[in-house]
A and B are shown apart, each in its own frame.
Chain A
Amino acid sequence: MGNFLKKNWFVAIVAALLLGVSIFYIYDTNKGKLRGKSVNGEDVVFSVAEQDVTTSAFYDELYESGGSTLLASLIEKTVLDQSIETTEEMREEASAQAPVIRQNYMYQYSNQYESVLGDQLIQMGYSGIDDLEQALIDQMKLVTLQSDYAKEHFDELQIRNVSYILVQFSEDSEKTETPNEDEQKRMDAVDAAFAKGDDFATVATNHSEDPSTAPTGGVLGTIDNNTTSLDQAFLDGALALKEGEVSDWIYSSNFGFFKIKNNASTYDSLEAFVKAQEASTEELEESIIVNPIEDLVTQYDTTLLAKALWEKAEALGIDFHGDAELEERIKTLFGVLEESE
């Protein structure tokens, strides 16, 4: 060894120097790094009061405060990824919307906007703010999913497009089922217009006392039997009508007296009705929503989301790998527990 070193002393010195530099480099690189800790083969997340909290214990803590809700969000994303194709139109729309969303958040939350928006996206099962466009695409997919569900369950949901004419209670009204003189006079004017031969849209425009729908010929939009945001008497009356029928006067203790028309209650007639409305837009003061089913799922029936997701998940095949408690929790979140039992 000695002879060897004597012969190759220069190389030995360089090797020793290099070893020293390497050791220093390793030390210098690592000195600012966070060191990990393991106990019984498990990583430790933190320690306090001489107790180590491992990742499995930490997982349980995290799960207790909302883990199953997050899981439901992950299921939602997975269903969407596998069942609805991302179209170029969706990508373009998301790309256009994303800066607007960011700007709105910036306006509301100032410097914190990225953190706030990021947290909201994480809560929806995304990794953070970088997934904003994907989240927007998924929102569009959700509308598509719900619309498809609504079409498939059209009759069961009693989907229909309705119009109405409202005669409000007069100021001094007792608001009973029997209209007072003033209310009756206004209702008679409506009936007279119909007797004269005016169509529903014209009568609504001229006589309906609801300013939000009168300009559009009294068209409310597309509803179904889950549209509980509507006055119950109105909803019951609307659901009882066959396509094309106009109701008698319907008393509503909240508003007054309605005449309701079922404009369309099959998918084909619904499409035809909305197209006809578009064509006659210039005759009305305001335009009408183009896609009636999307109108329904985004405005009047927001209960379909969970059902649509679950139905699609079942069609794809959903497996809880024997965890009955998890299955029950997820089904409860989706509101389908009783249906499946």
Chain B
Amino acid sequence: MKRLVKVFVLLCFIPVLVGCKDASAQLKDANTTLITVGNTNITKGQLYQTMRSLSGETTAVNKAIEIIAEKEVEANEDLETEAKEYLKSMDEMFGGSYLSLIGMEEEEFLNDYILKLKEDELVKKYISESYNVLVSTYSPVRATVLSFTTEEDANGALSALKDGSMTPTEVVKEFDSTSTGNPELITINTTSYDAEATALVRSNSKDDGWAKVATATGDRFYVIRVEENDAEALREEFSESMLNNSTIREQSTAHYLSKYQFHIYDIDILNDLKTNNPTYVIQQ
């Protein structure tokens, strides 16, 4: 009976004893003293906590992408050549002392730079694999868009372009346009033109030639020509433009973190990630 009572009492305490906390990854040698000043030790653990608070989340994601890039992108001579050429150009800019200025050895610098190039290759790979989706989302078209403030100028430009008497770069000078006259890639992110112009660019084809449209308020007139709207023909140009698009880079990061099952075992880093970059949180 007494034994039963003891067991009974013990069972009452189990829930209290087993109150688990979220995991927090701790340094094994946290108590190692790095520096002692007077009567105070600055420990590795103290420094680790501070660094983790400041940049734990960013460092974790960057390191994860570094690991993924090593897996997905093979090292090749082109990357090495590009890295060496970059170093050479920086050295020329800084009178041959670039490496000492940044406090790095050549091998270390080249390895770091090649890694950055690999990370870019990773984004390129993502763009390539998601190309059709990106085309549907961003609707890229290469077009020449000329902007005029008067309908008279727009009509004069349109006429000259249609009869071939002038080129677009000549027309913009002749008819007081601030446009360059050069073709450019237009996507749904393009905000330099009014909606009427971009709508016409998306609805027209190469066969439609030069066309004119006015804004609803009548204060601006556009003369446009679609140069290319075939997705495959635009692949290189569009892909290059997406490489520096921050949304695409974030999507690429989220895609690869998911593919390679990025999992965090530290509650502070996980919470920071949930707050700042929830798409990078793969685990439930």
Query: Residues on A close to B: CB < 8 A?
Result: 8, 11-12, 14-15, 18-19, 22, 25-26, 29-30, 33-37, 41-49, 51, 53, 55-56, 58-59, 61-63, 65-67, 70-71, 74-75, 78-79, 81-82, 119, 122-123, 125, 127-128, 313, 316-321, 323, 326, 330
Contacts and interface: CB of A to CB of B under 8 A. Distances in A.
Task: Please list the 5 inter-chain residue pairs (A to B) with the smallest Cβ-Cβ separation, ordered nearest first.
Answer: A36-B23, A316-B38, A43-B25, A62-B51, A49-B260
Given A43-B265, A320-B35, A75 B54 contact: no
A43 B48 contact: no
B47 A46 contact: no
A45 to B, nearest CB: 5
A29 to B, nearest CB: 6
B267 A34 contact: yes
Interface in B60-99: 60, 62-64, 67-68, 71
Interface centre among B44, B60, B62 (most CB of A within 10 A): B60
B53 A128 contact: yes
A56 B30 CA distance: 10
28 contacts: A11-B8, A22-B15, A25-B14, A25-B15, A29-B15, A34-B264, A42-B28, A43-B23, A44-B265, A46-B60, A47-B262, A48-B67, A49-B260, A49-B261, A58-B25, A61-B63, A65-B59, A66-B51, A66-B54, A67-B51, A71-B42, A74-B42, A82-B37, A316-B38, A317-B37, A317-B38, A319-B35, A321-B35
A67 B47 contact: yes
B107 to A, nearest CB: 16
Contact of A66 (B40, B55, B63, B67): B55
B104 to A, nearest CB: 11
B35 A330 contact: yes
A318 B64 contact: no
B263 A46 contact: yes
A81 B265 contact: no
B4 A15 contact: yes
A311 B71 CA distance: 50
Interface range, B side: 35 or more
A321 B47 CA distance: 16
B283 to A, nearest CB: 8
Given A34-B270, A36-B25, A46-B64, A74 B1 contact: no
B233 interface: no
Given A55-B48, A58-B63, A66-B51, 7 more contacts: A22-B11, A48-B260, A70-B47, A71-B47, A74-B42, A78-B38, A318-B36
B50 interface: yes
B28 A45 contact: no
B27 A55 contact: yes
| Dominant secondary structure of chain A at its interface with chain B | helix
Nearest to A318: B37
Interface in B1-37: 1, 4, 7-8, 11-12, 14-15, 18-29, 33-37
A282 B53 CA distance: 52
Contact of B25 (A45, A51, A326): A45
Contacts of A62: 48, 51-52, 55-56, 59
B39 interface: yes
Contacts of B1: 8, 11
B37 A313 contact: yes
Interface in B227-284: 257, 260-267, 269-270
B174 to A, nearest CB: 45
Contact of A122 (B22, B29, B54, B68): B54
Contacts of B150: none
A48 to B, nearest CB: 4
A18 B35 contact: no
